Structure 1
Amino acid sequence: MRVLMKKLTSLSLVWQVTIVFSLIMIIPAIVITTSYFEIVRNNLLEEANKKVQENLKKIESNMNANIGIMNSALNQLIFSQEFQYYLNPENNLSAHEKNYYVYSVQNELLNIRHVYTNKFNRLVIYSKNSQIDEYVDWSYNMDRLYDRDYYTEIMQNGSEHIYGNVRVYDRSLGNLVNYEELENKEELVLPIYQKILDIRTKECIGLIEVDMTISKLANAGELASQDSEVKYLIFDRNGKLVFASDDQRADEFSHLNFQEKSGVSDINLGDANYLIAYDRDDVTGLMRVAVMDRQKILESTSGVDTLLLLIAIGSMVFIILFTNVAARLFFRRLREMDRMITQIEAGRFDVRIKVDGFNEISRISESFNHMAERLQGLITSMIQKEKAQKEAEIHALQAQINPHFLYNTLENMRMQCEIDEYYTVASDLANLGDLLRYSLHWESPEVKVSEELNNIEQYIEIMRMRFNNRLVYEMECSEELKNLMIPKFILQPLVENCFIHGFKNTLPPWKIFVNVLMEQDRLIICVEDNGKGIERQRLDQIYNCIRENKSISDTNNRSKNSIGIINVKQRVEMICPAGSGLSIESRQNDGTKITVTIVVEPDVQNGGEANVQDIGGR
């Protein structure tokens, strides 16, 4: 009662009055009507429950009987023939023995066809003895099975008598009886196999296979004629629907899942509700299911209770409408205030309530308007401060990377001048000028992929003046990705690490590979080298620094810290949408791969060139 009162007080005042008054008038009528409905409904469902279980027993009985027939046919054939002798490839069969074998098996198959008329779709014998030619429709060499999907299923099973999984009937092999309907459609069959083992080595030298279609296994025609209200389903051991007596709703039933071996339950499929009984066969692993439509079960109650239901509904509607209209007339000003408060919760702080009169409601409305104005001013101020702080952090990171890369580039040029007295710096200075011009333009924190790749190429060309042909680099990027916007100057620090750390103390040739690709909604940029890689302990230290946003200290020079990777990671996370980031893969003496992942909005992927707001989310 306390919970109901709590929920009632959470509603609007109009609905509180409506519900309280309506309940006083409606509760007795609802109790009587509901009780009657429940009694009738429960009786019908109880009868349906018994009926669906009885029909499940029918399909179980049919399947067990037909599986018994298949096993009897197998046993009859095995006991009447000396397969261990004739199927053994080590035995040299005479022409008389071959003829006797074919004649004996042929007579037994005729007897089986006569006793079990129109039961099987195939009964074949596979043999490893190549002396038995395939000149009859029931004898094949074991080689015919090697390329079949179910060959492994048979051979990996340690049992001699195997119940295979349901599969499509293979028309490339012969039939026990020629069924025309099997030639034009993919009929599903249940196969049973009997291995023939060598008496001495226990090696499988032959196989007898008996197939029966699932519809025959369940005696579908007989079940359909007995009760049209019950539908029957069969699922294989992998949970796939292999038989449905109602083809029109087979797609809906195919999604059923069974957590237990057997049971009775209610299920909802689309707009329909069903009562099902199911159990799994211990021998074949097949799941048998009987289904009844609950709506059809309860149809008989509609005529009996229609009049009572209409009276009850009419009374409830009248009482609720009358009470609600009366309450709205009394509390319309409060409803107006509630609507305005809801809009403020949604972020609209410019709404105001019209103030008229001098009663209590008008004074509350005036206080509400003052509160809304104050909130609007505070929110606007906070947004501006947060935006200014974020832009300041981004500019600080951008400013940090400029002197860092410039120092390293000039140091490389100085070292080259000391090494090579004939070294000319004109070309490198031109490239350096382009690099500086690119780095100094920070009007926007983002550039096109093509511009960033061009900047990397100029940087690598400067380094090639030092390393000559010992340095090889390659860049891959499809044309449709070159117009996407990415944070500026995120690749140069990663490429620079290849020279500073990756190629240090390693023999040429040195290779750098930059790859840009799109995977679903993510732009993937990989920078990979064939350098010395990173030790496990060092890699863990780098990952700790990345997680804590701390500069990475150099183990060989305690006074020198690396800011490149941390700088790139921080700017990617600040500028790009949530989910963007940076990762490192490395194995010692096998190179390092740094991957930058940038989440791209769906409209950017479909619309070609992206702007700052598209990919940066700002």
Structure 2
Amino acid sequence: MLRILQSLHNSSFKAKLLFSYIILITIPLTISSILVYKQFTMYLSENTSTMISQRLNQETNNINQALTSIENIGFQLSADTFLTAYLNERHQPFNNDSYITMTNKISPMLKWFKNTNHKISKINIITLNESISEIDTFVHSSKFEYEAWFMEVKKNTSLGLPYWEKYHEQRAYRKVDTLNPATSPVFSLFCIINPVYKSSSSYLELEVNPRLLFDSLNISPVGKSGYLAVVDSAGNIISGKNTPLLKSLMKKDDLNRLLKGSNGEYAYTYEGSDYFIKSQEINRLGVHIISVVSTAEIEELFDSSKRNYIVTISVTFILLLILAYYLGYFMTKKIKKLSNAFVSFQKGNFNTRIEVNGADELDKLSFDFNIMACNIQELINKVYKAEIAQKKSELSALQSQIKPHFIFNTLESLKMTAELHDEEEISDGLTALGNLIRQNIHTGNHLINVECELENLADYIKIQNLIRNNTIKAEFNIQEEICQAAILNLVLQPLVENCIIHGFPSNQKFLEISICGKLADDSIIFTIRDNGKGIEDQQLQKLNRNLENSLNDNSTSTGTGIGLMNVNRRIKLYFGDEYGIGIESSYNEGTAITVKIPFSL
């Protein structure tokens, strides 16, 4: 492995690039191919399982419809008033009228109902009325009173509901039946006749032939050679091919566990072959329909798709390899040109240039090399000029440090002159002006604390009062908790300046300004309120629209809102769009400006 890495390290860039392409192509293609193949096979498996489930559902529905039809016959017979009256009537032995009623009315009616559904093999009526002779379909119930099957019949039909007895051998009810014992198994539907009078209750039994009930199961195979069968939890094969596979399957504990549920799937191996078993329960009969399909037959459906998929992936891989080879060739060709140009340039041939014939990154790199070569030639000639320019820049920086110093010295001289002439207001104004200038020159950071901002604002109001003959009354109401909080430099001063310039009342001598600051949740709320002339509604609406769109509008604001827009835009850009300023105003009554910023120390 180390030898391979060493040889790769010493190989050409073209070989490394081609190897990288192969790795980058192989890994994603292999992973994606495996994932797609798994999804594809899963889809085909689910599709096959769905097809089998649909067949089972279809057969189950057909059988349930047949059972419902038989139950309807049972309901009609058990509710027949003529039959009910006959069963409740006390009959004299050898009574001719009773015999005529039996032979001419009861028996033909029962025979007609039996013939309407060929799945019914026999009709029995088990009655408590022992005055009715045990001929034809009638059987006395006293003989079976304590037998388990008859007790189940009485229990499950007591509420008038039909009861399906599970798969069992036909019973010989009369002595004549014992001479020719019935051995064919049946399902029996029991319905109670006249459940109101328990003493004369009778039970209708419709025996159903399983072979006729399930005759439609194997009309067509499942897939190519799969088949359906009906089994019960006791391992009896009720209908279907009695194959050695099915007999072997009935002995497996796993299948018995499978048949305990309403439906399920089971993988089974018999004599080296795999089979897919799927079952669905017929609740009323307590049996399962199972489908038996060879796994090899299912996989045959996938073989063609597998081959096509493998061929497609292989062809795609080969085409990608060819594409990677030619792409690597063209890229290394341009890189080789660049390498030769750099070697020539290093040797002092500053006239070296590369011919550019494209617009990709390597062509752009070649173009940049040509520009670099030209620039280097120019820079060589300009080194001396650059050194002189640097010295001039340093000199200008030194002079810029002297200018503020000169301004502060001048202001200090004026202040001392004012104090000598007892002009305290002028002295205080010059001090405030010096503080403002110093703050704006020396504050390099965007953020200062609230206390510093308020001191600047007080200095500004002091200067304005000096200009306006003390006609501005300012009141500060600031919570102590926010004094050390961070705020952008020059946020409050432009807003107060806006109040003074645009809000000075024409009918009053003084302008009253209230500056309040408080902590609200995680934000600081400043409110600057004046008693000035206010703003007209139309102008106020325009200002609020401009404030809302201040981040989207990059045009230079003009007019009375320039300070407001500047402050609002700075706040939103620095802290986020949920912060900023808002304006409320009533014309000739005053204006309130609210500033919201996050609380942070």
Same fold (TM over 0.5): no
Larger Rg: 2
TM-score (norm 1): 0.38
Larger RCO (alpha carbons 8 Å, 6+ apart): 1
Q: TM-score, normalising length from structure 2?
A: 0.39
